[in-house]
Amino acid sequence: MYNYVKSIHVFLFFLLLCSQGACAQKRAEKGKANQADSIYQYKASQSPDGTGKYYMGREIAQVMGHQGASWLERPGREKEERTDVLLQALQLKSTDVVADIGAGTGYFTFRISPLVPQGKVMAVDIQQEMIDYLNTNKAKQKATNVEAVLGTIQDPNLPPASVDLVLFVDAYHEFSHPREMMQAIAKSLKPGGRVALVEYRAEDPDVPIRPRHKMTIAQAAKEMEAVGLKLKNTSDVLPQQHLLFFEKATN
């Protein structure tokens, strides 16, 4: 009888612990949800290109899917955007490890690859179709220093302190979770590592891009500063886009 009562007491004790653990987990999940709600706001979009989700006053744009791959590889892109000038402005070293975030078809990945022969290009995308496309091109071009990385909407899945340069070309404004993504990216930077952000100029109404797919310097700087990245310098070498360089704050 004593052993039976003791077993009941032990069972109830463990049941209580499990209940407390479940409650603690629910509280943690609720805390995360409240934190997310304080970072992002939601309201009806006034644009077919918007998501209705806002970050620091900016409406996040809808993502261009893999169906738009042909637009990334359009023949006139170099002339329109002067992508050749952009590559020069990055001032890459032969040993650099570069993360091409939102790599898509690898338009920049496979142009950067020969510029860093002793380094590496991490081509990150969240769509498996794009990863497949990247791996096919990697084999065709024998680009042995390219690694396709399947990321998530909150994490590019890059090792900590592993990257010299993170490059975003017309991708950041579509991130559904920009705060979480940039926190992860900041951790991936080596000491002295840089972030190069390329976005169409929202300050210029003559740039023929829909408003949700453009950014101002002030907005970009505000969002990067929120994760500890400081604007170091800007470049106006591109005809329609900002080229902004950020580094980790030292204080």
Residue 72 has a pLDDT of 61
Q: Which amino acid is at 34?
A: N
Span between the terminal Cα atoms of the chain, in Å: 66
Residue 84 has a pLDDT of 94
Render pLDDT for 144-178 as a digit per residue (tens, 0 to 9): 999 999 999 999 999 999 999 999 999 999 999 99
Does the structure show a pLDDT above 70 at 25?
no
Render pLDDT for 181-215 as a digit per residue (tens, 0 to 9): 999 999 999 999 999 999 999 999 999 999 999 99
Render pLDDT for 224-237 as a digit per residue (tens, 0 to 9): 999 999 999 999 99
Closest CA to 170 of 107, 224, 226: 107
The percent of residues above 90 in pLDDT, for the chain, comes to 74
Residue 236 CA from chain centroid, whole number: 23
Please indicate, yes or no, whether the overall pTM of this predicted structure exceeds 0.85: no
Does the structure show a pLDDT above 90 at 77?
no
CA torsion 9→10→15→16, rounded to 10°? 70
Does the structure show a pLDDT above 50 at 93?
yes
Render pLDDT for 47-72 as a digit per residue (tens, 0 to 9): 999 999 999 999 999 986 554 555 56
State how beta strands 58-61 and 50-55 pair. Answer: antiparallel
What does the domain layout of the chain look like in residue ranges?
Answer: 2-42, 62-248
Residue 192 has a pLDDT of 94
Residue 214 has a pLDDT of 96
CATH 3.40.50.11540 given to domain 62-248: no
Question: Residues 4-12: what's their mean pLDDT?
Answer: 38
